[in-house]
Amino acid sequence: MNNPKPLRFRDRYPDLGTGPIPVAMNTSPEYFEREREAIFMQEWWCVGREDEIPKPGDYLVREIEAINASVIVMRGDDGQVRAFHNVCQHRGNKLITDERGNCRGMVCGFHAWTYDTRGCLCHVPHEHRLHVI
């Protein structure tokens, strides 16, 4: 019995063509932004292992350049592992600058807004003086 020859990739997808691939795909900032939105922002990211943060308050910080994000992965005081954007909701300042460690909470270095190990805002200094514009 004759086994048919498997189709080559280009034969299965003739619309892709066989000519040279444009260099712009590898160098264009606009093309990369489209890839960032269409691919990188839609996928899960492996940033560490659960056993790297065994105790409550243990954390990892990862800078994910492909999506312009700094992420904190922390074991809460309840034992749950959570991930947060590494930014204060007040002024966008980074909450943690070390790559790993242990803490009882996160404090923004700008105005000392404080978050617990579950990521909840728990203290705003001089909150009574704040006003909404």
Q: Which amino acid is at 18?
A: T
Paired residues of 70 in beta bridges: 63
3-state secondary structure of 38: helix
Task: Summarize pLDDT for 58-95 with one digit per residue, the tens.
Answer: 999 999 988 889 999 999 999 999 999 999 999 899 99
- What pTM does this model have? 0.73
CB-count burial class (<10 Å; 0-12, 13-18, 19+) for 70? middle
